[in-house]
Amino acid sequence: MSDQALTDFALDNETMDFRAVVRSSFARLRSGDLGSLPAMLAIAALVAIFGSVNPSSFLSTINLANFLEQSSSVIVIAMAVSFTLLLGEIDLAAGFTAGVSAAVLATRLQEWPLLPSILMAALVAVALGTFTGFMVAKVGIPSFVVTLANVLLFQGVLLLLVREGGSVRIENEIIKDLVGGNMSPTVSWIFAGLALGLFTFSLLRQQRASHGAIPLSLVAFKVAAATLGAAVVTIVLNQNRAFPNAPAPIQGTPAVIPVVMVLLVGLNFVLNRTRYGRHLYAVGGNAEAARRAGINVERIRLSAFTICGLFAGVGGAFLASRVNSVDPNTGANDTLLLAVGAAVIGGTSLFGGQGRMLNAVLGGFVLALIPNGLTLVGKQTLPLIGEIDFGSSGTKFICAGVALLVASSVDALSRKRAR
């Protein structure tokens, strides 16, 4: 690329081959735009470490399925919180919104059929989110303060719904199977094929729109890599992972995967292809500029909290489904911190205007890998230090905290360098 080519929209008209794309990606990385790379490297590193320490358990089929299910609720709540993070706001009560919504779902299911119960739970989640949005956008209280109050408020509501020390069981098979159920091996293959087809279709669409900036070879490479990945994962998950002598085989891709994928694709679509998504990024980047461009900033703020509430509610259903019951701790403790952490580790900025839905997934994987792997590492005797129980809660919290700190340092340092 000659210097002269750097003006006159040169890059817009440039056709790039595969090597040029690789070179420009490296240039972007060097300029400090790391994107999701740190999260992907972290996933690779964690898999390598845990896989080498305890290959028989960590790399087992059952653990792969287990890990995917463990990460799902954090991922969904992280997606929800991302809508507020994109505006530079935060919803500290998203965990309890999930809890309250799950409690409504569980209690309603005891008397009502599935659909009205789900609608009621969704309605409550939307109402809680809209309430927060109203306080932030219309009344003008900082979201940190509003949602801090909401943590207490919603926790109180959750306690009243499920009663102190009590828990509400979920008997509905569909909700129970949301996290924990599996697709049959045939359906798993059909799902993998559909997902690959959609992936290829969207890549080709981008390629056509790029006027040569994306070479076909790159599309082919990505599709080949995705096909290989999907085939390996599907083959592995289609193995019977039940213990010997179990009454029925456990096999197939966990049902939670297509659900998370639909959320990922759907929310991504809203953010990137609709006017609403564009305005969300604009308000997060420069609210004053957005206002001058005629965007109703208050409405965008309010709606972002409403969306956050709704999908936190969906996350609540995941939390409930995982343990088949709702208790006062559903959505409590570290749920919200892990969700925000997942988004940030994935590369979403806390200052607004930057982030993608995929970040929530990648970050969620990192934060789910840590406790999953550490439990399987268990007690180890280290030279000089002696015996350490890596599976203890203390170690897990410390490792998750370190991961979050490392991720945000990488982000801060790369930004500093870019400036």
Report the interface residues with another protein, using CB under 8 A: 6-12, 209, 272-275, 278-279, 281-282, 284-286, 288-290, 292-295, 353-354
Beta carbon of residue 346, minimum distance to another protein (angstroms, whole number):
17
- Compare residues 6 and 139 and give the one whose CB is closer to another protein: 6
Closest distance to another protein from the beta carbon of 273 (Å) = 5
CB 122 to another protein: min, Å: 24
Nearer to another protein, 222 or 278 (CB): 278
Q: Which is nearer to another protein, 282 or 410 (CB)?
A: 282
d(CA 264, CA 260): 6
Report which DSSP code applies to 325: E
Beta-carbon count within 10 A of 46 CB: 21
SS (H, E, C) 226-279: HHHHHHHHHHHHCCCCCCCCCCCCCCCCECHHHHHHHHHHHHHHHHHHCHHHHH
Residue type, position 236, single letter: V
Q: Which is nearer to another protein, 146 or 203 (CB)?
A: 203
Angstrom distances, CA of residue 149 to CA of 80, 154, 211, 311:
19, 9, 51, 20
| Interatomic CA distance for residues 281 and 88, integer angstroms | 10
Q: Are 389 and 395 in contact (CB under 8 A)?
A: yes
Give the phi and the psi of residue 215 in degrees, each rounded to 5: -75, 150
Smallest gap from Cβ 20 to another protein, in A, equals 14
Distances in Å between the Cα of 37 and the Cα atoms of 50, 64, 217, 325 are 20, 22, 22, 37
Report in angstroms how near the CB of residue 258 gets to another protein at its nearest: 24
Compare residues 292 and 386 and give the one whose CB is closer to another protein.
292
**Could you give phi then psi for residue 383, rounded to 5 degrees?**
-60, 145
Specify the residue, 28 or 163, whose C-beta has the smaller distance to another protein. 28
Q: What backbone phi and psi angles, to 5 degrees, belong to 388?
A: -125, 135
Q: How near is the Cβ of 354 to another protein at its closest, in Å?
A: 6
For residue 193, what are its two tokens? 């094929």
Nearer to another protein, 279 or 301 (CB): 279
State the minimum distance, in angstroms, from the CB of residue 216 to another protein.
19
Whether residue 361 contacts residue 260, with contact meaning beta carbons closer than 8 Å, is answered with yes
